[in-house]
Amino acid sequence: MDVLDWGEALNEIFTEMDEYDGYHITATVADEAGEVVTLQRENGSLMACDFANGIIIFSDVVAFRQDASGLYINLGSVTSTDPEKAQLLQVTSFRERHGDSTLLKLKEEYGIPMIAQDGKYLLPLQTLSFLTLSSTNTAAFFNQESLIVAKISKIKSTDQQLLNALYSAGLLTMDLWQEAREHTETFQESLAYALDVISQTEEGRLAVETHTEKLRLSLAGLYFAGPQGQRSGALAAYGYSELCMELDHAYGLKDAHGIDRFTDYFMQTGLAQKLFDPDAAKADSAIGEMTEYWFDDGHSGFNGSSYLTGG
């Protein structure tokens, strides 16, 4: 994705978010050599993409991602030496105070490509999505056919959403699902078994058809309608590197788990081989194992599978 085009796209995306009233990105080529592109917000914070050195620098990553009402909260001491007095919470507008800069060595540490060529400044879409949208629980999804920008919660597995809808309607019971699991080996086989039983009544058949059509027309349905199949070696390698980069810079419990770098962590836990697998379903399974078994932190979880698996 061209970073200059992405800057324009961000202005359109954030127009739909009331909490980001006044949000505006100005995208410029910042040096004569044409190898540095900056995305600068209306509050003065910026993201600089240095293509020559393969790095990204945020002048203040909090301010760059913060909504229009965001404030820094600075914990300081009161001027009085009285030990009975509580510490003072000093609140300062983020537009008037600069935080720390952040440096990401995408090429050197993660092998994530940054290409400046023929007037284009290219970064992987997922990388741009993480750096600019993740704080809003929004992401860009591409399935070789459609580019979708949506809340992450909207792109959940359509199969799981169908099960939830039928369960809420009282058509799928725990006993039926247990029976399906006992008579089949995979999730897809269990789903087909349960749907077949439910569809034996007119009410059930109509409910399955109605919910299936509704999901087909949803954003999740559009995403999972992309072509299924194996990942190329290059795509698998990028997915692994991107996952390491995102977790290195965004997982808040690294220290609690004794994690220095996720490349080492994945080797130590035996997840690396699965995450590199050309079968996207196996890589998805590894991410689920990571969040549910290895992290086991009470709030991390697996949200949805790759479009390559069909949902």
Output the 3-class SS for 48-84.
EEECCCCEEEECCHHHHHCCCCCEEEEEECCCCCCCC
Q: What six digits make up the tokens of 110?
A: 């993660």
In a domain? residue 167: yes
> Are both 171 and 253 inside the same structural domain?
no
Q: Which residue, chain included where needed, has tokens 């209306």?
A: 42
Is the pLDDT confidence value at 99 over 80? no
Q: Among 174, 204, 224, give the residue marking a domain's end.
A: 224
Give phi and psi for 298, each to the nearest 5. Answer: 90, -15
Residues 6+ apart with CB under 8 A from 203: 171
Residues 31 and 49 in one domain: yes
Q: Tell me the C-alpha distance between 205 and 197, whole Å.
A: 9
- Of 224, 247, 262, which one is at a domain's C-terminal end? 224
In a domain, 152, yes or no: no
| Lowest pLDDT segment from 37-41, 186-190, 206-210 | 186-190
> What range does the domain containing 293 cover?
233-309
Q: What pLDDT score does 81 carry?
A: 52
Quick check: helix, strand or coil at residue 166? helix
Burial of 51 (0-12, 13-18, 19+ CB in 10 A): buried
Provide the domain count of the chain: 3
Find the angle CA(270)-CA(275)-CA(278) to the nearest 5 degrees.
130
311: pLDDT confidence band, cut at 50, 70 and 90? confident
The DSSP output letter for 18 is G
On the question of pLDDT at 93 being above 70, the answer is: no
| pLDDT value of position 84 | 56
Out of 206, 224, 242, a domain closes at 224
Q: Is residue 130 part of a domain?
A: yes
Count CB-CB contacts under 10 A for residue 137.
Answer: 9
Question: Domain for residue 85, yes or no?
Answer: no
Mean pLDDT, residues 58-76: 72
Tokens of 169: 């309607």
CA distance 178 to 220: 26
Q: Looking at this protein, which amino acid is placed at residue 195?
A: L
Residue 151 included in any domain? no
Which residue(s) pair with 160 in the sheet? none
Phi and psi at 171, nearest 5°, equal -90, -25
* In a domain? residue 39: yes
User: Residue 78 falls within a domain, yes or no?
Assistant: no
Domain membership of residue 147 (yes or no) is no
Task: Say whether both 217 and 244 belong to one domain.
Answer: no
Residues 220 and 239 in one domain: no
User: 102 phi and psi, to 5 degrees?
Assistant: -130, 135
Closest CA to 281 of 230, 225, 227, 238: 230
**Whether residue 238 sits in one domain with residue 212:** no
Residues 237 and 219 grouped into a single domain = no
